[in-house]
Amino acid sequence: MIQRLHIVVRGAVQGVGFRPFIYRLAMESKLNGWVMNSTQGVFIEVEGMKDVLEKFVLRIEQEKPPRSSIHSLEYSFLDPCGYTKFEIRKSIESGEISAIVLPDIAACPDCVMEIFDPQNQRYLYPFTNCTNCGPRFSIIEALPYDRQNSSMKNFKMCPDCLNEYEDPLNRRFHAQPNACPKCGPRLELWTESGNKISGDHIALRMAVEQILSGKIVAIKGIGGFHLMVAAGNENAVKRLRERKHREEKPFALMYPSLEMIKQDCEVNELEERLLNSPESPIVLLKRASHTTDPTSKIENLKSEIRNPKSEISFSVAPNNPYLGIMLPYTPLHHILMHELGFPIVATSGNYSDEPICTDEKDAVEKLSGIADYFLTHNRPIVRHVDDSIVRIMAGREMVVRRARGFAPLPIQYRHRSNTTVLAVGAHLKNSIALRSGENSFVSQHIGDLETTEAYSAFERVIQDFQILYKATPSLIVADLHPDYMSTHYAEKSGIKLNQIQHHYAHIMSCIAENKIDGNVLGVSWDGSGYGTDGTIWGGEFLLTNEKSYERVATFRNFKLPGGEKAIKEPRRTAIGILYELFGDDFISHDYLPTIKSFNRSELHNLTTMLKKEINSPVTSSSGRIFDAVASIIGISQQVSFEGKAAMELEWAIGDMQTDEIYEYRISNIGYLENKSEIRNPKSEIIIDWSPVILNILEDVKEKSDIAIISAKFHNTLVEMIVSIAKKIGEERVALSGGCFQNKYLTERAVHRLNSEGFKPYWHQRVPPNDGGISLGQIAAVLKKITEENR
């Protein structure tokens, strides 16, 4: 007996070839009916014998396109209505939006093969794409994902492209950005002032020549502009640093091939998979042993490297044992790198602390002081999307910057609510999140909200998400910090406000991503976050439950002379630690690099600040303890970007292997008697770092190996985590916060917790740093709403 089957598929099912897949499946099964996109996903109706229909449903799950993700598949059997053929119907644009916007996808092998085939119509065409690859999130203007709802709407397809687009058996069937040299976007090379020099492949060839000659070229990609120079040209790289106002922070690199990467870096199987993945992120790779120590070649590296094909310039990543590397991920990049044949710097097209440029005229206005030339094109970028950054941590991927390839894929968390929630994230490494229906959509990386331009980008992303998902929030969630720009936005929004403590949001982010709940011991370590007691937290152990959390342990407090200034000067943090231990007598430890870095007048002023509590906030920050140790042992006194001292402290371990630790103390006492009498709540366990620091001082006095000191310090921190886990007795332990970007710390903590019978959880697709705060804010408030509704 003939029956009709109605199917609704929700998830990442638009822009991945799902409709042509269903068409082919129906034709093979000899079923009539239709398939179409809607704002809720993909709707399907087919008619046939019941056993054939049941097999059809099973094959959808088993054979779905590789880039698709089915979150739900609902079906019902109905009376037949007599379909005579199978067709792909026009999309429905009305109704509640639950369809998922896909990230931009790296060029697939088929498209790469075509652009290097002289017989193919898309030979050397930089905007080649198909159903399996190409721009998505960066060009979508509205859902459902159709050409008229994208920035490709003004490019009318030629007859050949239209035939591909309309042929259900063609891999470009309904590929919305489909184009060729006759009808699609075009390249142009512009001068610094925006005057056109040339177009199409000639423009690309001329850009290659400029890079070869040492010039800086701004190149418009899929989600914004890159600034590119030859990675082996020391003078060019230094010039880029000066113009971009980026002192030491490492530059990302793009290599022509995996084989060339392996000449410079160690690449394991997981890292190789990441480099070649559809996400194609920047992957943090350890330099090969023959390139880790540049000291013997320092003079050569500081002089101009005239052959651009030579080794990586010292100024790309000064004194850094890691390189951030990606492979070409668009046809434009593939062609460019094929022409160049050597690695290039590919850093975001912006001044430091500003959002990446997406519009060519805006880029000329903002980047003309940096770039010598502009290689641009006329396909509009709807929203900025930076390159994602990923590293392999404890045998799996950890995203440390979530953008291209990952955003805006949602995270599903078990707490459900009909409330539409907007979370505005933190102040640094900002991202926002929107909860609509069952999905929490986490935005692309926005950055530090330190400038007017960055704050404007933050506002645009919020507006963009609400328009894209047709969602109006009835609740807004922000951090407790009264001075965060994101908090100010929330306070002025007129929407009901809920504020979530920073470190609780960190832990809830890890919990939500790992899809766990209930009682979890959260270890939240970072540089700073506003505590419920008005002090700066950052070394927290939080026990979560079905309702909220309890702060069960923290580090012994100390003061930060100069407040935020201490973030850029680890030596100030070290002075705060030393003053906590010795009071005014800290100055007598003049053998320490910390003390030597100040003159007597500066030391006197710092002592006065600490004694009179002038601009010296109290903190329990583990991130600042990393800074203090880096200063005390002479690794870093002043830094140009946050986290640099802690990174250098980790790098100092090198290949050192030891299980040695320093003495430390854990107690439940209400306060520690010392000269500054900083008090902690009596209910909390206090981790006293003073024995650790005192032993490090002895090691410095005895001129012990810095690698040993750093390894012992890291090992001690891990043992502190294990000790608190044993005291609390909760099996599940979640690790979150910026400190857990530290590979040595995280991997050792995971190993030790496992070996002691605990179940550690750490981040994968959501950053452990403040880029994950917005998701944590959503998860925390959903838990609260669920509890209130019981």
Nearest Cα residue to 632 out of 664, 584, 589: 589
Q: What is the pLDDT of residue 98?
A: 60
DSSP string, 40-66: TEEEEEEEEEHHHHHHHHHHHHHH--T
User: How far is residue 445 from each of residues 92, 238, 318, 464, 684, measured CA to CA in Å?
Assistant: 31, 26, 25, 14, 35
Q: What is the pLDDT of residue 96?
A: 59
- Rounded mean pLDDT of the chain? 92
Rounded percentage of the chain residues whose pLDDT exceeds 70: 94
Given a cut of 50, whether residue 132 has pLDDT beyond it is: yes
Residues 6+ apart with CB under 8 A from 243: 216, 369, 370
SS3 assignment, position 469: coil
Q: What is the pLDDT of residues 730-757, one digit of tens each?
A: 999 999 999 999 999 999 999 999 999 9
Per-residue tokens: 464: 């963009």
Q: How many angstroms separate the CA atoms of 268 and 266, rounded?
A: 7
Q: What is the pLDDT of residue 298?
A: 29
Q: What is the pLDDT of residues 364-414, one digit of tens each?
A: 999 999 999 999 999 999 999 999 999 999 999 999 999 999 999 888 777
Given a cut of 60, whether residue 109 has pLDDT beyond it is: yes
Per-residue tokens: 144: 């459902």
Q: Residue 338: phi, psi to the nearest 5?
A: -65, -40
Given a cut of 80, whether residue 355 has pLDDT beyond it is: yes
Q: How confident is the model at residue 194 (pLDDT cuts 50, 70, 90)?
A: very high
Mean pLDDT within 431-438: 91
Q: What is the pLDDT of residue 683?
A: 60
CA atoms within 13 A on the CB side of 754: 9
For residue 66, is the peptide bond before it cis, meaning its omega torsion is within 30 degrees of 0? no
- DSSP lists the bridge partners of residue 191 as 373
> What is the bridge-based pairing of β-strands 32-38 and 86-88?
parallel
Q: How confident is the model at residue 97 (pLDDT cuts 50, 70, 90)?
A: low
Given a cut of 80, whether residue 289 has pLDDT beyond it is: no
Q: What is the pLDDT of residue 100?
A: 78
Residues 6+ apart with CB under 8 A from 122: 111, 114, 115, 128, 180, 181
Given a cut of 70, whether residue 564 has pLDDT beyond it is: yes
Residue found by looking up tokens 């720009």 in the block: 485
Q: How many angstroms separate the CA atoms of 14 and 29, rounded?
A: 22
Q: What is the pLDDT of residue 292?
A: 39
Q: What is the pLDDT of residues 218-275, one digit of tens each?
A: 999 999 999 999 999 999 999 999 999 999 999 999 999 999 999 999 999 999 999 9
Other CB atoms within 10 A of residue 703 CB: 8
Given a cut of 70, whether residue 147 has pLDDT beyond it is: yes
Other CB atoms within 10 A of residue 84 CB: 8
H runs (alpha helix) in 570-620: 570-582, 593-596, 600-611
CA 245 to mean position of chain CA atoms:
22
Q: How many angstroms separate the CA atoms of 544 and 311, rounded?
A: 50
Q: What is the pLDDT of residue 627?
A: 97
| 376 exposure class (CB count in 10 Å sphere: 0-12, 13-18, 19+) | buried
DSSP string, 324-344: EEE---SHHHHHHHHHH-S-E
Q: What is the pLDDT of residue 518?
A: 85
Q: How confident is the model at residue 296 (pLDDT cuts 50, 70, 90)?
A: very low
The C-alpha torsion from 226 through 230 and 234 to 240, rounded to 10°, is: -20
SS3 assignment, position 235: helix
The C-alpha torsion from 753 through 758 and 763 to 769, rounded to 10°, is: -60
Rg (CA), the chain: 28
Given a cut of 50, whether residue 579 has pLDDT beyond it is: yes
For residue 467, the one-letter residue type is: I
Q: What is the pLDDT of residue 99?
A: 67
Q: What is the pLDDT of residue 643?
A: 92
Q: What is the DSSP letter of 650?
A: H
Q: How confident is the model at residue 304 (pLDDT cuts 50, 70, 90)?
A: very low
Q: What is the pLDDT of residue 68?
A: 85
Q: What is the pLDDT of residue 135?
A: 96
CA atoms within 13 A on the CB side of 18: 28
Mean pLDDT within 430-449: 93
Q: What is the pLDDT of residues 446-502, one digit of tens each?
A: 999 999 999 999 999 999 999 999 899 999 999 999 999 999 999 999 999 999 999
Rounded percentage of the chain residues whose pLDDT exceeds 90: 81
